[in-house]
């Protein structure tokens, strides 16, 4: 009896010690701490089910800054855009992005970065590929490849004699942009091919890569969350291996090869890095093209304004001439920015390396604790914040235009002017270095689609599909279901 009682008391002491060790208490000036009854897991299950709904509920309860426990990690979410700039400007010895990126690449693509790898240094070096002559060369290749790919799609209608081609819009946009990106960044020799058979082989490769990646992309959220079944893990391994083999067949562009160079001692890691770069450079282009095309087709005024602006490029023959016109399209720029405001939902994450104090306007200063992860979520604020944007869930193509046609930058929160009214491209040392190239690709796609084809919604009265919230944090949201359209070549026009 005494032994049993002793064991009971020892067990209780151990349990109390573990709870004291793992239980967290809020310190002065720290954000509100949202506790959960499940040890270690915390709110992970609720968060996984619907991240946006969970964060909205937490904001309503705790305000726009709070800390929760997610699968063993304490994460502080910040939805106050007035402090974004000061947070993103912090030095890496306070808020570190490299640790987050390394963890992300490892979990999603099995990439192990070498010690000392710096994304900030790499981004600085990459600027030469996405500015000046490097950018001009990429854009010229992109226009040529996009024209080549989009020419394939009216063929089935011409063969049937109907004149119209019916397609599911998301798959259509996704496929064209992904194949174009593959040829531009992973097959730069495409433009130097003289043999027709070689060109056809590369185009077949682009289609094969697209079909494989489309299936992998659908599973990426589950890979990131670690919720795959054994059967799904086998499928993912096969998909990754097949895509990596195709990406490996061709010498990539200078930018691609520069990224994989630090992993030169490990061929398998190089292949994985190519796949990661393929996703990073192409994964959001197709979804963005889908959303802006859909929003334009549903808004006649926006469509007319954009088509009028694009008409200036209809007589341009080469890629450089087309891009030159597309660099001066303020209405289309605003429409793209508005689309991204509505659909871009990245998590801007940092690891807190040292305790960090951040000042807030007319509010108490904030203390972020060492060892936590700090996540900004611009999707909720400023992008969908009714205090920043009127009718925040409505597409207004001229929202980012001033009356004189210049870009509008005046947006306010609590009476204070914001640095940015939207953050779809990230900011700080993880900002997208390929922003101009990506925007040019979207514009070129819209130029060919809207000036060379008649495009119609099959059901023009239908509401736009909702967002697949499981992709929250990965970039641009994808639709919950497809949208059917039909298109045909405009008489006398050639692509």
CA–CA distance, 426 with 474 (Å, rounded to integer): 12
Q: At what angle do helices 119-126 and 98-109 cross, to 10 degrees?
A: 90
What is the DSSP code (8-state) at residue 479? B
Q: Please provide residue 407's backbone torsions phi and psi, each rounded to the nearest 5 degrees.
A: -75, 130
CA–CA distance, 183 with 101 (Å, rounded to integer): 26
Closest CA to 448 of 155, 211, 177: 177
> What value, to the nearest 5°, has the Cα angle with vertex 43 and ends 39 and 49?
135
113 assigned ligand-binding residue: yes
417 assigned ligand-binding residue: no
Element (H, E) at 140: helix 132-150
> What value, to the nearest 5°, has the Cα angle with vertex 81 and ends 77 and 82?
120
Q: DSSP string covering 404-436, please?
A: TSSBP---EETTEEPS-S--TT--GGGS-TTHH
Please give the structure tokens belonging to residue 294. Answer: 């859909």
CA–CA distance, 485 with 164 (Å, rounded to integer): 10
Pair type for strands 474-476 and 344-346: antiparallel
CA–CA distance, 235 with 472 (Å, rounded to integer): 23
Cα distances from 292 to residues 210, 343, 369, 461, in angstroms, run: 21, 10, 40, 17
Radius of gyration for the alpha carbons in the chain, expressed in angstroms and rounded? 25
Q: At what angle do helices 267-282 and 196-225 cross, to 10 degrees?
A: 90
414 assigned ligand-binding residue: no
- CA trace torsion 211, 215, 217, 218 (10° rounding): 140
CA–CA distance, 205 with 333 (Å, rounded to integer): 32
Please give the structure tokens belonging to residue 417. Answer: 């002017």
**Beta carbons of 474 and 220 less than 8 angstroms apart:** yes
CA–CA distance, 149 with 137 (Å, rounded to integer): 19
In the chain, count H helices and then E strands: 18, 15
Residue holding tokens 């040829």? Answer: 183
CA–CA distance, 449 with 290 (Å, rounded to integer): 12
432 assigned ligand-binding residue: yes
Cα distances from 296 to residues 2, 400, 461, in angstroms, run: 79, 16, 14
CA–CA distance, 72 with 407 (Å, rounded to integer): 44
Residues flagged as binding site: 107, 113, 284, 373, 432
Residues flagged as binding site for substrate: 107, 113, 284, 373
Residues flagged as binding site for heme: 432
């Amino acid at each position: 009896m005494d032994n049993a009682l002793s064991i009971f008391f020892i067990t209780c002491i151990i349990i109390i010690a573990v709870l004291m060790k793992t239980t967290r208490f809020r310190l002065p000036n720290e954000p509100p701490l949202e506790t959960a009854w499940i040890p270690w897991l915390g709110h992970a299950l609720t968060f996984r089910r619907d991240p946006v709904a969970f964060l909205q509920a937490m904001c309503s309860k705790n305000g726009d800054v709070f800390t929760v426990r997610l699968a063993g990690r304490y994460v502080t979410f910040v939805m106050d855009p007035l402090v974004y700039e000061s947070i993103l400007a912090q030095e890496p010895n306070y808020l570190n992005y490299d640790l987050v990126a390394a963890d992300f690449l490892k979990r999603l693509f099995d990439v192990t970065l070498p010690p000392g790898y710096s994304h900030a240094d790499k981004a600085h070096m990459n600027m030469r590929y996405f500015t000046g002559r490097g950018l001009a060369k990429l854009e010229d290749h992109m226009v040529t490849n996009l024209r080549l790919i989009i020419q394939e799609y009216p063929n089935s209608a011409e063969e049937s004699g109907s004149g119209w081609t019916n397609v599911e819009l998301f798959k259509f946009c996704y496929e064209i942009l992904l194949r174009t990106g593959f040829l531009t960044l992973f097959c730069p020799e495409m433009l130097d091919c003289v043999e027709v058979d070689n060109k056809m082989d590369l185009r077949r490769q682009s289609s094969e890569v697209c079909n494989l990646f489309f299936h992998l992309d659908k599973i990426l959220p589950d890979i990131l969350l670690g919720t795959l079944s054994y059967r799904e893990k086998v499928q993912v391994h096969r998909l990754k291996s097949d895509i990596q083999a195709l990406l490996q067949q061709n010498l990539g562009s200078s930018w691609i090869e520069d990224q994989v160079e630090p992993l030169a001692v490990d061929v398998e890691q190089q292949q994985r890095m190519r796949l990661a770069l393929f996703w990073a450079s192409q994964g959001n282009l197709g979804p963005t093209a889908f959303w802006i095309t859909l929003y334009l087709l549903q808004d006649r005024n926006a469509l007319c304004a954009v088509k009028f602006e694009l008409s200036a490029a209809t007589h341009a023959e080469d890629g450089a001439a087309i891009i030159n016109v597309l660099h001066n399209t303020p209405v289309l720029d605003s429409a793209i920015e508005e689309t991204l405001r509505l659909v871009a939902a990245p998590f801007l994450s940092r690891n807190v390396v040292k305790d960090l104090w951040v000042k807030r306007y007319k509010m108490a200063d904030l203390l972020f604790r060492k060892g936590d992860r700090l996540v900004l979520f611009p999707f909720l604020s400023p992008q969908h914040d009714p205090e920043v944007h009127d009718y925040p869930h409505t597409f207004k193509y001229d929202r980012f235009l001033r009356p004189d046609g210049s870009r509008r930058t005046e947006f306010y929160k609590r009476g204070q002017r914001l640095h940015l009214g939207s953050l779809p491209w990230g900011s700080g040392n993880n900002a997208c270095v390929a922003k101009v190239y990506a925007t040019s690709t979207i514009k070129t796609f819209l130029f060919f689609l809207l000036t060379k084809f008649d495009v119609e919604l099959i059901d023009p009265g239908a509401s736009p599909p909702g967002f697949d919230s499981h992709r929250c944090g990965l970039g641009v949201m994808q639709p919950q279901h497809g949208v059917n359209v039909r298109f045909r070549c405009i008489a006398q026009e050639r692509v």
